[in-house]
Structure 1
Amino acid sequence: MKNTLLKATLISLISGVGIDSLISPVTAQSYRLQSSESAILIAQSTPDTPPQPPLVTPNNSISPSLLTPQIEISKIEIEMLSEGDEPKQKLRFKVPINSKETAILVMKMDSNNTLAGNPIPQVKLPINVVEMEMQVTKVDANGDMHVKFTYPNVQVVVTDEQVSPEVVRLMRTLMPKLSSVQGEFVIDERGQTKVSKFSLPSENDPLSQQLSSQLTNSFNQLSSPIPELAIGKGAKWRTNNYVKVNGISIKQIANYHLTDIRNGVATIDIKIEQNGEPQAINLPGLPPELVVKLRSFKTQGQGRMKLSFERLLPLSSTALLTSSGEMSVKIPGSDKELTTQIDTSMNMSIRSQPATIK
């Protein structure tokens, strides 16, 4: 479950921020993380200004189909590379019923964009701090765990004076909407999500729809199973699958390395890559005369997590991702093409609080 949560967040932000920023008028951006400890202090601080009423932006007149990415995910294939050293054991998640856990997720990102070869002024964003809460409500005879989740506390924290007040106002309008999201999912003993459902806020503005959609996409990608076989320290495995974001096909490969396991706590290093070959982009809502093509898309990421098989959430995890994408748009009535290039780096951290039994 821990690697699924980490990978889900990573892939969601890669797809949602990388691909979706190429094809959507909304570009999500954040910054480089300083440390897990400072992130927790930031998460516990009080925002310097209260949330303001929703902003009226040009994006509010854009078709929601351009703002809300449609995700299709193929079945994940797992390949065993090395079973590791003795002693070996079958790793299975066994979380007690009514177990309740909380974790703090901190996300920061940087983005450099160009249009037709000309740099686009960088828009700095504040830090996003999200409190995640999960509870096991039922455990089936086969070990499947039924889990409810919420986001009880969401904050937008400003630590950079170059972040504009307008951006802070917009983020503090959008991010708190996560706190009204609830959901349930069923996960098996190997960390693979089998069923998920969500209760999303009823909002009419496209920006809120995109926020809710990207959250749904995160949990739709919560499948990253650990091996069926018994493994030991040094074990390595790989998962492969395809994700389609608004019709754009992206291949995903994740490599896992069990670097340590003792006293029921495992340390796993993860390397992730995504690749998108040149292809046409057929987005619902775009004028038919526009010819849009993906020229290239590539993401590379690495992270480390510590997890207990008696916990839903990772004890701790960190991740760094970089992505680069290029898209072209042919201007109607002309042979000219406009090309946009987006290079993004993202850093995130998760740290859990002690679990309780309700």
Structure 2
Amino acid sequence: MKKLLLYSSICCLVTASGLTVNAETLSLVKQQAKTQIAAATAQPQVELLEVGNEPRQELRFRPQANAKQTSTMTLQMDTDVSMAGQTMPKVDLPPITVAIDTVVTKVEPNGNIHFKSSYSNVDVMNSSSLPPQVLEAMRSQMKKMVGTSGSFIIDNRGQIQTAKFASSQKSDANLKQFSEQMSTSFDQMSSPLPQEAIGIGAKWRVTTTPSLLGMSVQQTITYELVNLKDNIATLNIWFEQHANPQKLTLPGIPNGATVTLKSLESKGDGRLMMQLDRPFPLRANLIANSKNEMSIQQAGKAGEAIRNGKFYMRLNLMSK
């Protein structure tokens, strides 16, 4: 199940790095709601780099039907954007907390695992730098995500077989569209465990070529097994993203404008603890940094505006 958390984090990373942040926080929230995430273009490629020490075993997910977890995810983001050499006003974004309820609904004889996850609460933490009315508007928008749920089928290595998201009844059209796009993305995106038996010190690399926010991206995630005890695996993780120059279609761009990605580089690392008989990670900590450069050519105007963006994200998750 770890790949669901990781992919969500990476989507947040690429999404936020593509936003033009200004003083109107409400515009930021609206822009996030319009973000488009397209399907991955190929299945993940898993390469075992080191088998690790003896004793070795095949790592497999084996939860029981009706196994449940409640997880709390906290996401802290920071952005730094400049346009045509001028730094945009910075917004101190407060942390966002998401409560996730997960239950295993069925385990097939072949090891395929059916489970459901839903957002039982979404909140925006207090911020002394934002006006109270802006903070409440953010909370109101984010709480529309409460009730959003997903149904998944994965094999016992964590390879996604099917995935489907359903937005809450309170969601607006943008959030409903986001849920549909997430279904398509998750259906083709995963980070499976190695097929081979491994031990402490094992490393493996998962390579994918997703299309995120209209960008064709090369993505690599490397895992290292650092501990395995009482059915709990502890992993160090590193990921990198790179995108070559390409034309983009982004939300909020005026009609007739042309946006070209010049460069995108993202890196991150963290640690993950997962109990192999539970449907969601026990603990997760992830830090990610991203930078990109885009050129914007407006219709009927000579020259281009260069937009540079930097993005920082910290994600923490705890389950019980």
Structure 1 length-normalised TM: 0.81
> 1:80 maps to what in 2?
48
Structure 2 letter corresponding to 1:121: P
Q: Go from structure 1 to structure 2 and tell me whether the alpha carbon gap of 1:332 and 1:190 turns closer, same or farther (over 3 Å shift).
A: same
User: Aligned partners of 2:306 and 2:187: how far apart in 1?
Assistant: 31
Query: Quick check: 1:141 aligned with 2:140?
Result: no
Q: Go from structure 1 to structure 2 and tell me whether the alpha carbon gap of 1:327 and 1:173 turns closer, same or farther (over 3 Å shift).
A: same
Structure 2 letter corresponding to 1:80: L
User: Is contact 1:8–1:218 with CA below 8 Å preserved after alignment?
Assistant: no
> 1:41 maps to what in 2?
none
Q: Percent identity?
A: 33
User: Aligned partners of 2:301 and 2:60: how far apart in 1?
Assistant: 59
User: Aligned partners of 2:277 and 2:269: how far apart in 1?
Assistant: 24
> 1:298 maps to what in 2?
265
Map 1:281-296; keep pairs closer than 5 Å. Answer: 281-282=248-249, 289-296=256-263
Deviations 1:235-269 (A, max 9, x none): 00001111113432111000111111122221100
Deviations 1:165-216 (A, max 9, x none): 2431222112112212122110110012110112213568565457646765
Map 1:267-282; keep pairs closer than 5 Å. Answer: 267-282=234-249
Task: Report the secondary structure of 2:135's partner residue.
Answer: helix
User: Aligned partners of 1:119 and 1:210: how far apart in 2?
Assistant: 32
> 1:245 maps to what in 2?
212
Name the stretch that deviates more: 268-277 or 174-183. Answer: 174-183
Q: Go from structure 1 to structure 2 and tell me whether the alpha carbon gap of 1:105 and 1:208 turns closer, same or farther (over 3 Å shift).
A: same
User: Is contact 2:34–2:175 with CA below 8 Å preserved after alignment?
Assistant: no
Structure 2 length-normalised TM: 0.90
Query: Quick check: 1:123 aligned with 2:91?
Result: yes
Query: Quick check: 1:174 aligned with 2:141?
Result: yes
Q: Go from structure 1 to structure 2 and tell me whether the alpha carbon gap of 1:153 and 1:305 turns closer, same or farther (over 3 Å shift).
A: same
Structure 1 letter corresponding to 2:277: E
User: Is contact 2:271–2:284 with CA below 8 Å preserved after alignment?
Assistant: yes
CA apart distance, 1:313: 1.3
Q: Is there any run of 5+ residues in structure 2 with no aligned partner, and where? A: none
Task: Report the secondary structure of 2:263's partner residue.
Answer: strand
User: Aligned partners of 2:129 and 2:254: how far apart in 1?
Assistant: 36
Deviations 1:272-324 (A, max 9, x none): 01011111124589666322100111110001011111111111110100000
> 1:14 maps to what in 2?
13
User: Aligned partners of 2:90 and 2:181: how far apart in 1?
Assistant: 23
User: Aligned partners of 1:283 and 1:120: how far apart in 2?
Assistant: 19
User: Is contact 1:295–1:328 with CA below 8 Å preserved after alignment?
Assistant: yes
Instruction: State which of 76, 100, 104 in structure 1 corresponds to 2:68.
Output: 100
CA apart distance, 1:146: 0.8
User: Aligned partners of 1:59 and 1:130: how far apart in 2?
Assistant: 16
User: Is contact 1:201–1:212 with CA below 8 Å preserved after alignment?
Assistant: no
Task: Report the secondary structure of 2:110's partner residue.
Answer: coil
User: Is contact 1:17–1:27 with CA below 8 Å preserved after alignment?
Assistant: no
- Considering only aligned residues, what root-mean-square deviation do their CA atoms show, in Å? 2.8
Q: Is there any run of 5+ residues in structure 1 with no aligned partner, and where? A: 30-54, 354-358
User: Is contact 1:129–1:154 with CA below 8 Å preserved after alignment?
Assistant: yes
